[in-house]
Amino acid sequence: MIYDADTWIGHWPYRRLPQTSAADLLRKMDSHGIEKALVGSLQGIFYKDSHEANRELARQIRRHRDRLVPCAILNPTYFGWAKDLKQCREEWAMPVLRLIPQYHPYKLTDDIASEIVAAAHELKMRVAVYGRVMDLRGRSHLDNSRQVPTEEIMAMFKKFRGASFMLLNSGAVKPLRGAKAPKIFQDTAVMHGGCGVTIEKGLKICTPDRLMFGSTMLLRYPKSALIALETVKATKAQKEKILYKNLKRLIPEMG
């Protein structure tokens, strides 16, 4: 069984994606034996009012809720986010809030970021942060996004004692220490390559209890992330945790 912590549907404004729809995502999942996935809408990054993308996403996947679990994207500097967040959770049953400070005008250390994280926690949502959304080395001249330093991400995490966060598409970070330290669950999306050492390093750093399979499809080819896990030196029990158990434990709505 495989659960994917990191998928997208929708369009990327600077490059044509060959597949964009929920049906495309399901076909891809089928061809790779992936049963369920957390999914966000790429439009949520680029619409001025991200909530319109949340609305679209809820509609696009409403017939596939048994396999696709929607993630909200909101820009906390945009008017009305608190009400929008509540609608995402209570009306559309979105269990995850994805924050994208790479493309939205705030820092994770800003008070407004803490406010939306606290509000998400109040609604019993998990908050996901991206190490990076796109490789910027080939960025479009229209893409003015910024790289978010790991220090900024960790500083935000540290404000929420006892909370669990998702850190996606990022290199492995060391767990925070202390009984009440926030728990960081990471996906394997960039943990492959470099002579096979990267995912093994990720296993050591993040521990098998905090690592989840993530592919970033439909932005990228998912097979690379899959074969990294197929070939990694890990026990069957460790692989099962990464492939679905950790995500299922973190997001009960994954079923």
Residues that bind other proteins (CB under 8 A): 15-19, 135-141, 192-197, 217-228, 231
Which residue's CB is nearer to other proteins, number 1 or number 136? 136
Instruction: Look up tokens 């993308």; give the residue.
Output: 53
H or E element in which residue 130 lies: strand 126-130
User: Rounded to the nearest whole angstrom, what is the least distance from the CB of residue 177 to other proteins in the complex?
Assistant: 31
Nearer CB in complex with other proteins: 14/158 = 14
What CA–CA distance (Å, rounded) separates 107 from 162? 22
Distance in angstroms (rounded) separating the CA atoms of residues 153 and 55: 27
CB of 137 to other proteins, least distance (A): 4
The rounded Cα 41 to chain-centroid distance in angstroms is 11
Amino acid at the residue 88: C
Of the pair 181, 234, the CB lying nearest other proteins is at: 234
The residue (of 19 and 150) whose beta carbon lies closer to other proteins is: 19
Contact by Cβ (8 Å): 228, 18? no
Q: Which CB atom, from 188 or from 246, has the smaller least distance to other proteins?
A: 188
DSSP helix/strand/coil, 186: strand
**Nearest approach, Cβ of 196 to other proteins (angstroms)?**
5
In the complex, the smallest distance separating the C-beta of residue 248 from other proteins, rounded to whole angstroms, is 25
* Least distance from other proteins to the Cβ atom of residue 234, Å: 13
Q: Pick between residue 157 and residue 213 the one whose CB is nearest to other proteins.
A: 213
Least distance to other proteins from the beta carbon of 161, Å?
36
Nearest to 3 by CA among 30, 31, 38, 28: 38
For 188, residues 6+ apart whose C-beta sits below 8 A from its C-beta are 199, 202, 211, 212, 213, 214, 225, 228, 229, 242
Q: How many CB atoms lie within 10 A of CB 197?
A: 11
